[in-house]
Structure 1
Amino acid sequence: MKNRWLLPEGISDLLPAEARDLEHLRRTLLDGYVRHGFELVLPPLVEYLDSLLTGQGGDLDLKTFKLVDQLSGQSLGVRADITPQVSRIDAHLLQHRSVNRLCYCASVLRTRPTGLEGSREPIQIGAEIYGHAGIEADIEIIDLLLQSLEQAGLGTLRLDICHLGLASLLLAELPGIDVDSVLELLQARDLPALRELLAPWQAQPAAAALLALADCYGPASVALPRARAALQAWPAALALLDELDALLGAARLQQHASRVSLAIDLADVRGFRYHTGLTFAVYVSGHARAVGRGGRYDGAGAAFGRARPATGFSLDLRELVDLRRGTQPVPAVITAPWSDDPALLALIARLRDDGQTVLQLLPGQDAAHLAGVHSDRTIRNIDGQWRLTGKDS
């Protein structure tokens, strides 16, 4: 007989320590985004399916839970990614603005996890800039992403930069090629299989250049010269490489250099059907999957009547909290005995107003056996007055 208390695969509770850590991190990051001029939006959990999967959101079809609206009879979807919803808000509800900086944080639900042990209910937090096509917006977004992960205290980070315009330019010169297979093999750096797939086009310079992209990774001082040598016949590609070079040299990113290694990976073609140009991923030491991803998705909002240049990133707060597990201190609280004495209640209220956590013990509750908290001080009645003292005083 199935245990009715078991949760579906990829769905989990957050217990007090993790929930406390996640909420603290959520507030810290969102407050930081607001200080950078980003405005908070909160799209609905469900929308009409056509709206969720319109345009670039169509790649989410297999990840989206679908249901029927009992009021209208129409198909609804539970959001699997918040970014398409924010694009709709920018294009349709905030269309009077030339540039929008928007941020968000909420749960999403997916039919399948990302990775073997990923959650199907990530808590997605991110930031987007709409309305600016220049590299300045990309620099601002990447800077904010790196600040976010540094605030999360994850340790040594690596930022990988790619530009999907390079693969797109080369694939356009190979008519009839199986684009999805090329991208899969390039991402896996399976050069023998990729070489075999490209064999019918081996006389085309673009085929050799695609193979060369797999070797264009590592520090910019190594990867960019390799890329320039492989792509020297394409002036448009060289211009894109100049853009990458300028981005990595930006002062805002260089200020992270002591804590983040900056690198190029021109074979990282994830999101090719969604992203339209520069993309980036951040990795933390000891963790295989990227902890943060983002990039350009110009044309966002076209399906809603307003095509816009756009760039942004997203993180999964659940994943960040899991990576931080055991590194966050147990919060200290003040304990107080149970009493309705107005003087005690007034002291407790003052301490709480000052930002202190005061736990008033229930009758019979033992302060020595508090779970999940550390009591470092207590309130005692000394000579008829309530005083805050050290726990062992």
Structure 2
Amino acid sequence: MSKWLLPESLADILPAEARRIEELRRDLLDLYRTYGFELVAPPLVEYLDSLLSGSGADLNLRTCKLVDQLSGRTLGVRADMTPQVSRIDAHLLNREGVTRLCYCGSVLHARPTGLLSDRELLQIGAEIYGHAGFEADIEIIELALESVKRAGVREARLDLNHPAVLRAIVDADPALAVASDEIHRLLDTKDVPGLDALHGQLTGVRADSIESLRVLASLYGGTEVIAKARLSLPALPAIQAALNDLETLIRALPDYQFSVDLADMGSGYGYHTGVVFSIYAHGWHDALVRGGRYDGVGSAFGRSRPATGFSLDLRKLSSGLPPAARARAIRAPWGTDAALVNALRKLRLAGEIVVQMLPGQAQRMDEFSVDRELVLDDGTWKVRAISNPSAD
């Protein structure tokens, strides 16, 4: 095996793409700051019991584990930053009232989430703690939509769901509880034959429970899905309350076009408790953004707080955008003459990209289009245009 071969579903990011990802990171973090979000930076690795607090089995399966050589305890390489940010809010900051936090960092998945997915993501997101009302959900949704708009995504589609609907069906039939993860997977792919097969696989499961799951798999489309769900799903109080929450949010955002997919389980790692949302757009095979309400995650750290937020992968976001444009650059000769050094310094302070050509060396650059050059003209260093700009 070649020494340079990377593990499966991991990839290097080359200069032009890496620059665009970094520019997206800076732009979005600056955007979140204008909304009053404060930046936090949790560690890449934590003790496993802390890292997985309040999450479901799915996050555990996606977390890479190792042994800490100092303490002998099991560590986890984070697969999602939301539990870490919840820990910071509940345990370290411990503020009263509303706290807005944002973050950006690498996460690693033990296995890819899909055939086209990477295992390393650059996760960026924003969270609001301390407000249980739908106003916080509105702010988070609007900020998520503004995030993809800033990146150049057009005609993004907002999709809503509420995990309490499925949870109520499972809770109403104890025989379903042992297969909750499998039900989650089958609904996510809308595998109706697989749901039917559960009737023979699960001891004591009721026929009406399987029928409810079949109906749930078909409940996707426009906002009319909510009315259809009221008629076709069991009249359980938890289901009616969840549908009320969805309607409240839709009425509060009349300027947006929503779709509703009550079978889209997403990747909430088991901690979502209220309305969840996904943002889709043409050019990406999966949701660009996932978010929603996850009240009480901080209880594992001694403080239960209302919470809502979203996250996205900057590497995925960048991959579906048009090729990054090259930046204009100035070519300059190598030298240490004081006048040349001073000219270079002034140009760079003005924000110009100036590349000095090392003696006897050609160079190729993916990021820059060299359309000007610095030349000595009558004893003065001047910038002049190059007739045939190139990346060389």
Regarding TM over 0.5, the answer is: yes
1:297-376 alignment to 2 at 5 Å?
Answer: 297-324=294-321, 326-366=322-362, 370-376=365-371
- Percent sequence identity over matched residues? 51
Q: Which residue of 2 aligns with 1:96?
A: 95
Conserved? CA contact 1:105–1:124, under 8 Å: yes
SS in 2 for 1:229: helix
Q: Which residue of 2 aligns with 1:226?
A: 228
1:184 aligns with 2:180: no
Q: What is the CA–CA distance in structure 2 between the aligned matches of 1:193 and 1:79, rounded to whole Å?
A: 32
Q: Which residue of 2 aligns with 1:50?
A: 49
SS in 2 for 1:172: helix
CA gap of 1:58–1:308, structure 2 versus 1, over 3 A, is farther
One-letter code aligned to 1:269: M
Q: What is the CA–CA distance in structure 1 between the aligned matches of 2:269 and 2:332, rounded to whole Å?
A: 58
Please give the per-residue CA displacement for 1:280-324, whole angstroms capped at 9, x wherever unaligned: 111221432112111111111111101111111111111112212
Please give the per-residue CA displacement for 1:29-86, whole angstroms capped at 9, x wherever unaligned: 1111111111111111111122112232654222222222222222222112111111
Runs of 5+ unmatched residues, structure 1: none
SS in 2 for 1:276: coil
Conserved? CA contact 1:335–1:360, under 8 Å: yes
Q: Which residue of 1 aligns with 2:247?
A: 245
Please give the per-residue CA displacement for 1:84-106, whole angstroms capped at 9, x wherever unaligned: 11111111001133221111111
Q: What is the CA–CA distance in structure 2 between the aligned matches of 1:57 and 1:207, rounded to whole Å?
A: 23
SS in 2 for 1:363: coil
Q: What is the CA–CA distance in structure 1 between the aligned matches of 2:68 and 2:240, rounded to whole Å?
A: 51
Please give the per-residue CA displacement for 1:340-393, whole angstroms capped at 9, x wherever unaligned: 2322322222221222211122223458x6554201222221111111221239
1:211 aligns with 2:210: no
CA gap of 1:197–1:65, structure 2 versus 1, over 3 A, is closer
Q: Which residue of 2 aligns with 1:387?
A: 382
1:278 aligns with 2:275: yes
Please give the per-residue CA displacement for 1:203-230, whole angstroms capped at 9, x wherever unaligned: 75x654443322221121x322212322
SS in 1 for 2:94: coil
**CA-based RMSD:** 2.4
SS in 1 for 2:111: coil
Q: What is the CA–CA distance in structure 1 between the aligned matches of 2:269 and 2:46, rounded to whole Å?
A: 25
1:4 aligns with 2:39: no
1:128-139 alignment to 2 at 5 Å?
Answer: 128-139=127-138
Q: What is the CA–CA distance in structure 2 between the aligned matches of 1:236 and 1:120, rounded to whole Å?
A: 36
One-letter code aligned to 1:135: F
SS in 2 for 1:287: coil
TM-score by length of 1: 0.89
Q: What is the CA–CA distance in structure 2 between the aligned matches of 1:287 and 1:371, rounded to whole Å?
A: 24
Q: Which residue of 1 aligns with 2:59?
A: 60
1:77-116 alignment to 2 at 5 Å?
Answer: 77-116=76-115
1:256-271 alignment to 2 at 5 Å?
Answer: 257=256, 261-270=257-266, 271=268
One-letter code aligned to 2:290: R
Q: What is the CA–CA distance in structure 2 between the aligned matches of 1:81 and 1:181, rounded to whole Å?
A: 21
Q: What is the CA–CA distance in structure 1 between the aligned matches of 2:71 and 2:206, rounded to whole Å?
A: 55
Q: What is the CA–CA distance in structure 2 between the aligned matches of 1:371 and 1:158, rounded to whole Å?
A: 33
Superposed displacement of residue 113, structure 1: 1.3
- Per mean C-alpha deviation after superposition, the further-off stretch among 188-197 and 271-280 is 188-197
Q: What is the CA–CA distance in structure 2 between the aligned matches of 1:305 and 1:215, rounded to whole Å?
A: 40
Superposed displacement of residue 125, structure 1: 0.9
TM-score by length of 2: 0.89
SS in 2 for 1:214: helix
Conserved? CA contact 2:175–2:205, under 8 Å: no
Q: What is the CA–CA distance in structure 1 between the aligned matches of 2:296 and 2:157, rounded to whole Å?
A: 29
Please give the per-residue CA displacement for 1:147-188, whole angstroms capped at 9, x wherever unaligned: 111112233322110011122223222232243343333333
SS in 2 for 1:185: helix
Superposed displacement of residue 195, structure 1: 4.3
Q: What is the CA–CA distance in structure 1 between the aligned matches of 2:54 and 2:242, rounded to whole Å?
A: 25
Runs of 5+ unmatched residues, structure 2: none
Q: What is the CA–CA distance in structure 1 between the aligned matches of 2:305 and 2:245, rounded to whole Å?
A: 20
Conserved? CA contact 2:199–2:207, under 8 Å: no
Conserved? CA contact 1:108–1:121, under 8 Å: yes
One-letter code aligned to 1:375: V
Conserved? CA contact 1:231–1:238, under 8 Å: no
CA gap of 1:184–1:8, structure 2 versus 1, over 3 A, is closer
1:296 aligns with 2:296: no
CA gap of 1:190–1:70, structure 2 versus 1, over 3 A, is closer
SS in 2 for 1:55: coil
